[in-house]
Amino acid sequence: MGNVVIANDHGAVEIAERLIRHLEKRGFSVNHLGVTSRESVDYPDMAALACREYLKGGYDFGILCCGTGIGISISANKIEGILCALPQNIYAATMARVHNNVNFIAFGGRIDYQDPVEKMLDAFIDSTFEGGRHSARVAKMLALETDQSC
């Protein structure tokens, strides 16, 4: 099917394992750069590792996971060329792709989601960017990375 890069910290070992299994069942090749133990690592380092790997090319999208998904998604969004969403449900996961054309999606390993994360991931994967009026908005978001007037 495609290639996915995924990284996680110690607060999201189980959710990363679930997502990897799900992706492999769907036929994706997964490059897991995260940890498999609860020994503490810093989520900004995990975000940087996965994002830099993604930017080399050859990946359809990336997944990041930490305890809440917040810190790792903020870290990813500091990297030029990365748009990372932290959806709270299936609808938000769909819109992350349809309206925002994100290339990374994040989840929290310590979050009790209303919708199963596998279904949220499926909604993201199975959606496509609408383009049109959203293209200009995405371009504006990306331009903020280098905007020094803020």
Q: What are the catalytic residues?
A: 66, 99
Please classify residue 27 by burial: count the beta carbons closer than 10 Å to its beta carbon, then call 0-12 exposed, 13-18 middle and 19+ buried: exposed
Task: Say how far apart CA 6 and CA 84 lie, in whole Å.
Answer: 12
C-alpha span between 59 and 3 (Å, rounded): 5
Strand arrangement, sheet containing 84-85: 29-32, 3-8, 61-66, 104-108, 84-85
